[in-house]
Structure 1
Amino acid sequence: MKIRLKVKHIILTVVGFLFFIPITTVFIIPQAQLYVGGKQLAAGEMNGKEKILRVLEKSLFPEQRWGIIQKYMIDGGISHQFDVYVGPSSTQVNHQSHEINFTWDEKLPFLNEYLAKGPIDGYLTTAASQLSYYYQREANFEKADEVLKQASARYSSSQYSFNLEELELERIKLHIKQSNYEAAEELIDELKTKVTPGNHHIVGSLASLEAEVMLREGRLEEGYELVTHQLQEFNEQWEEEKRAHPEDTDVGTPVALEQLLSLKEYLERALEKQNNGVTTVKGKIVRSDGKSVPSAGVFLRQELAVNHSVLEDEPYQVITDEDGNFEFTGVIPGNYQLYLGLTFDQIDGWTWPVEYGDWIQIDGQETERLEVTFHPLLELHSPVNQEAIETDTMEFKWEPVEGAAYYDIHLGVELDSGSIGTVFKTGITGNTLTVPLEELYNQQVGVMFEDTEDWSSVDPISILAFTNTENKFSWSVKAYSQNGEMITQSNGYRLNEDSIGNLPFFYLHARDMTEADELFLDKKVEQAFEKYKDEYANNPNDYHSLRMIVRMMGIEAAQTGKTRAEAVLPYLIKWAEVSKDPDVTLELADYYHKERNWEEYDYWYEKYLKLKDSN
């Protein structure tokens, strides 16, 4: 039996000749490549990207072409401009999924094509915003404004007024970032004439931006009056709308209202603190070899903002110019922290030596200068590259740093959910340190629980810490100058062959895991606890079992509100004698001080002082 297939054709006329092209050439083949390419992209295969780009080189119907650009070049917008945000209080990494993304060089032609000829829809706004972000990173602010303006010009119909207004708001924010306040105010006045009074979002956002300009120019009272007046109107309209639609019970507070409330509080604090007016903050980002860092994001963050990640609408944010310079104007007095937004290429192999608690105090002086210097990451020599330590002592060794007066060593324990770290030794004057493994075994890290209400749900890896021969550990070094400022560190981003260096991982294989240890790792916590007690009772020289009894009893006590000394006193006294740990003797001294047992207090406090001096 023969089956006859009908194949449809498209007829093309070229210079008087008729060509019959199977419709599969136009539709089926690109769709197949798109399907396969999309699957490969999602699986992290580079071939998928190549297939998508080849499809876009073909002759496609416009709807088909725009759909591909929307899905692969525009969708998702820009969640973050930078790969890494570094500051004193936190480091924020813009983690990507395993899906391969198109690079800026690959996306730019298609984003520009969409900007010029693509459909007039919401994707046009997103494409323009992406392009504007790109040109801001390149420090080409004129082009960044031009693409927003070009997209705005295409929204001629009132049907797309929302998109037009969003683009105009982006333009105003861009001019404020660049301290071009006159241009920002012109755009604000122009947009005011186009917005309907009932559009709370735009009206509120415009008021916030106008007040921000006043703040930057030092017109604090004028800005405060504007925000207060706008808040009153906004609240009245918002309450009226809620009364008109009582069925909408789950409607949240409008974003524009939250912005105005936040700005009002900020201006109130500014007026309270103001002495000599606003300040211009200038600075430069350079590497220690003298090379500048252009196109880096710089964020001057207020005291109340550093407890959350860096946001796209941070009030004080700029991008460094080609020489690494940055400048903020209209900064009101207060405490701030400086954060940097960087690509992986900019930070690869380098570190910005900033530490928790580094604050900038703006006191109203006319100008404040900030210098940011990147230093090469410090190189570790041993132990590295997953070396297994099988002796009773181990040597830490690292690259000496010019100008370093002392070093600190930090240790890390790998957990299933990440890692947990602790300070091991401080004030080391050379670039080597030899310690007995018992010191590492005695080093504790934080305690992790699956259920904080139940002590037996404790993560055994966090409690065993460095006694666990089955686990991998890490270490790092920080170098400090004579006045206590960090110069550089070993921790940082190493992303290519030139900067990768030695990996800071090692194992401790000098001891054997006990039966109690294995029970504990198997999360049989109660059984492990009893086994440790049995093993210590049978062998008073079993220091490891004593150490684990003290740790586990201390965890159990914490769940009941007791101190460790109250719950584990006999074991803790024995542990203090054998471990010679000054922290444990101080813990006992504190316990006896509270008990008003002065004889025991004097004994343990004197012992603490001797151990502290010897360490």
Structure 2
Amino acid sequence: MRLKVRTLAGILAALLLLGWFGYRELPSFLYHQGYYQALLQWFPGHDYARPAINRLAMDITHETGMGESGYIFIQSSGGASSGGSGNTKLDREERAAIINKLEELLAQYGHTEQMSSVAYNLALMHFWMGNWDRSESLLQEVERLGGEGWISREEQAAYLAILESRHKQEGVPSLEGVVRIGDKPVPNAFVMVQRADDSTYYSPPLTHYPATITDENGRYRFYDIDPGEYDVAVGMPMEKISGYYMTESESKTALIDGKSAAVQNMQFVPQVIAVSPGRNELIQGDELTLQWKPYEGAAYYKLNLSYMYRDRDGKYRGATTIGLTDERYTGDQAAFSIRELNRNYNMNGKSYSQSEGVVLNTAGLLGMLFPGGEFAWSVDAYDEHDRKLSSSAGYFLLEDAVTPIFRTAEEGLSEGDRLVIAARYEEAVEAYKREGDNDHALRVLARLADQGIGQGDGDPAEALAYMERIQEPGGSDAEFIESLRERIQRKKQV
């Protein structure tokens, strides 16, 4: 069968058009099918090249983070925060292996604008590993290459300023000091300053405030800081300060006058040792006895209690901490009645999330040491001048708790109590109502009504009606009733 020339030409044109279209769409196909190396080899200048490089880098790093999540930042004023989210389970050797793979990727495709985001992430991994020189050179190279839209220039400048602060500077420092753990200076620790009147706090905080790095003698220096009062914070890997606590300085803040160097030393000392109850100990009966080891130089001690709570998957979600009492203890132990402590409802709190809905603080509903709960306790040591020397609390709770977490026996839990613990508040309300004029049930109903079991505010009038039915009110009941009446009165006046 013969084909006409015109028909043959049409077929060839169609094939060429189809081939051209296929070639044009080939980069997209390679990218979406995960053939990143082939894409970069055949189409190095295509728009898909940069995301392909980033995908290769992501395949290497997975969800490791840069390493900031392994750091903790502790303020001279007493606050503390972690460095951020991420996988903290990788050790230094594992992170070093990931860094080496990223270095190979960078060497393979060169320092180009398309590689700027890979080079930037590699620089941050070196930064958090303490490889300062390599991190600094990479950040300077990224600055030269450009790559706007793929990295934060403000963040890059902040990291670079921290690294450049290691180099010797001329003039009188605005602020200086030494960081020590025990008697040893701490090199390569981050130090940052934040105005004492600044109520905003970023987490991770490092790139949002002036920061520097301690030298081999643990000394830090800041230059050209505006006069004012500042909190000083130290950041270092969490494992470095395990078992230590930042003791209070004579001044919690540094006062910079712009004339001479202010001095603020940061000293970590051994924690107070909590003896009993120990971790995972079950407390049965009515008596709770707390015992600790005497701390050198302590004139008295204060005690704290933390209610630990989990999410619906059973993972620790957080803790609420309050002073157990206002009393100052001069010995090494203290005993309490759990029944009396459960008449204290100072741990109120309410949160909401789309995944979990409304969650109320269980200790604020059932009592400070309610049956079946998980609690941590800590002891703080003070000198005769009321300066806090140390604490058993440290800076770790949740799964890494140094503070001992104990449990109370479930004996005495009612149906309503179990429903509250399970955050099934509507069912709990109905269960408590079936108990009639039971003082405990009425107290919980009042607090559920006051806080509200939905996203909105509660009803203090409904809460007061429950409280007025209590047959044997205690001191905290009277305070709560008075508070409800005052709020109801203010609401009427609005």
TM-score by length of 1: 0.56
Q: 2:444 is matched with which residue: 537, 548, 551? A: 548
1:282 match: 176
Tell me, in whole angstroms, the C-alpha distance in 2 between the residues paired with 1:394 and 1:366: 52
Greater Cα shift, 387-396 or 70-79? 70-79
Q: 1:299 is matched with which residue: 192, 207, 211? A: 192
1:443 match: 344
User: For each residue in 1:518-541, what CA deviation from the matched residue of structure 2 results, as whole angstroms up to 9, or x when unmatched?
Assistant: 455553133133134x153xxxxx
Structure 1 residues 494-573: aligned runs within 5 Å: 504-509=404-409, 511-518=411-418, 520-521=420-421, 522-523=424-425, 524-532=427-435, 534-536=436-438, 544-545=440-441, 547-548=443-444, 551-552=447-448, 554-555=450-451, 559=457, 562=460, 567=465, 570-571=468-469
2:391 match: 489
Tell me, in whole angstroms, the C-alpha distance in 2 between the residues paired with 1:160 and 1:518: 56
Whether 2:410 is the aligned partner of 1:420: answer no
Whether 2:297 is the aligned partner of 1:403: answer yes
Tell me, in whole angstroms, the C-alpha distance in 2 between the residues paired with 1:89 and 1:436: 31
Residue 281 of structure 2 aligns to which amino acid in structure 1?
A: E
Tell me, in whole angstroms, the C-alpha distance in 2 between the residues paired with 1:494 and 1:91: 10
User: For each residue in 1:168-188, what CA deviation from the matched residue of structure 2 results, as whole angstroms up to 9, or x when unmatched?
Assistant: 957963576347679xxxxxx
Tell me, in whole angstroms, the C-alpha distance in 2 between the residues paired with 1:378 and 1:574: 40
| RMSD between aligned residues | 4.8
Q: Is the 8 A contact 2:376 2:406 kept in 1?
A: yes
Aligned-pair CA distance for 1:135: 6.3
Residue 301 of structure 1 aligns to which amino acid in structure 2?
A: Q
Structure 2 residue runs of 5 or longer lacking an equivalent are 1-33, 35-51, 312-316, 490-494
Q: 1:432 is matched with which residue: 310, 333, 341? A: 333
Q: 2:66 is matched with which residue: 75, 78, 85? A: 78
Q: Is the 8 A contact 2:82 2:203 kept in 1?
A: yes
Q: 1:381 is matched with which residue: 250, 272, 275? A: 275
Aligned-pair CA distance for 1:555: 4.1
Instruction: Report the identity percentage.
Output: 18
Report the CA distance shift for 1:379/1:563 in structure 2 as closer, same or farther (over 3 A): farther
Q: Is the 8 A contact 2:117 2:151 kept in 1?
A: no
1:119 match: 110
- Partner SS state of residue 438, structure 1: helix
Tell me, in whole angstroms, the C-alpha distance in 1 between the residues paired with 2:65 and 2:468: 62
Q: Is the 8 A contact 1:282 1:368 kept in 2?
A: yes
Tell me, in whole angstroms, the C-alpha distance in 1 between the residues paired with 2:418 and 2:395: 35
Tell me, in whole angstroms, the C-alpha distance in 2 between the residues paired with 1:173 and 1:124: 22
Aligned-pair CA distance for 1:487: 1.7
2:210 match: 316
Tell me, in whole angstroms, the C-alpha distance in 2 between the residues paired with 1:171 and 1:437: 51
Q: Is the 8 A contact 2:437 2:469 kept in 1?
A: no
1:261 match: none
Structure 1 residues 359-370: aligned runs within 5 Å: 359-370=253-264
Aligned-pair CA distance for 1:396: 0.7
Q: Is the 8 A contact 1:148 1:170 kept in 2?
A: no
Tell me, in whole angstroms, the C-alpha distance in 2 between the residues paired with 1:170 and 1:393: 53
**Would you say how many aligned residue pairs link Structure 1 and Structure 2?**
416
- Partner SS state of residue 240, structure 2: helix
Report the CA distance shift for 1:587/1:361 in structure 2 as closer, same or farther (over 3 A): farther
Q: Is the 8 A contact 2:54 2:117 kept in 1?
A: no
Report the CA distance shift for 1:463/1:143 in structure 2 as closer, same or farther (over 3 A): same
TM-score by length of 2: 0.67
Structure 1 residue runs of 5 or longer lacking an equivalent are 1-34, 36-63, 183-216, 218-277, 537-542, 597-615
Report the CA distance shift for 1:437/1:358 in structure 2 as closer, same or farther (over 3 A): same
Aligned-pair CA distance for 1:397: 0.8
Aligned-pair CA distance for 1:574: 3.5
2:6 match: none
1:220 match: none
2:20 match: none
Q: Is the 8 A contact 2:68 2:83 kept in 1?
A: no
Report the CA distance shift for 1:305/1:341 in structure 2 as closer, same or farther (over 3 A): farther
1:205 match: none
- Partner SS state of residue 313, structure 1: helix
User: For each residue in 1:392-446, what CA deviation from the matched residue of structure 2 results, as whole angstroms up to 9, or x when unmatched?
Assistant: 2121111221112222222222323323332212322222001112122123222
Tell me, in whole angstroms, the C-alpha distance in 2 between the residues paired with 1:130 and 1:442: 53
Residue 97 of structure 2 aligns to which amino acid in structure 1?
A: E
Aligned-pair CA distance for 1:368: 0.5
Tell me, in whole angstroms, the C-alpha distance in 1 between the residues paired with 2:103 and 2:235: 25
Q: Is the 8 A contact 2:443 2:466 kept in 1?
A: no
- Partner SS state of residue 325, structure 2: strand
Tell me, in whole angstroms, the C-alpha distance in 2 between the residues paired with 1:394 and 1:328: 48
User: For each residue in 1:251-302, what CA deviation from the matched residue of structure 2 results, as whole angstroms up to 9, or x when unmatched?
Assistant: xxxxxxxxxxxxxxxxxxxxxxxxxxx96100111012x0111111111013
Q: Is the 8 A contact 1:301 1:314 kept in 2?
A: no
Tell me, in whole angstroms, the C-alpha distance in 2 between the residues paired with 1:345 and 1:420: 24
Q: 1:575 is matched with which residue: 432, 448, 473? A: 473
Structure 1 residues 329-340: aligned runs within 5 Å: 329-340=223-234
Residue 78 of structure 1 aligns to which amino acid in structure 2?
A: M
Tell me, in whole angstroms, the C-alpha distance in 1 between the residues paired with 2:480 and 2:363: 24
2:85 match: 95
- Partner SS state of residue 345, structure 1: helix
Residue 575 of structure 1 aligns to which amino acid in structure 2?
A: P
1:41 match: none
Tell me, in whole angstroms, the C-alpha distance in 2 between the residues paired with 1:172 and 1:100: 25
Report the CA distance shift for 1:528/1:321 in structure 2 as closer, same or farther (over 3 A): same
1:52 match: none
Tell me, in whole angstroms, the C-alpha distance in 2 between the residues paired with 1:512 and 1:394: 16
Report the CA distance shift for 1:279/1:348 in structure 2 as closer, same or farther (over 3 A): same
Tell me, in whole angstroms, the C-alpha distance in 2 between the residues paired with 1:516 and 1:345: 42
Tell me, in whole angstroms, the C-alpha distance in 1 between the residues paired with 2:451 and 2:253: 35
Q: Is the 8 A contact 2:191 2:213 kept in 1?
A: yes
Structure 1 residues 240-255: aligned runs within 5 Å: none
Tell me, in whole angstroms, the C-alpha distance in 1 between the residues paired with 2:353 and 2:129: 48
Residue 307 of structure 2 aligns to which amino acid in structure 1?
A: V
Tell me, in whole angstroms, the C-alpha distance in 2 between the residues paired with 1:560 and 1:65: 53
Aligned-pair CA distance for 1:506: 2.0
User: For each residue in 1:191-219, what CA deviation from the matched residue of structure 2 results, as whole angstroms up to 9, or x when unmatched?
Assistant: xxxxxxxxxxxxxxxxxxxxxxxxxx8xx
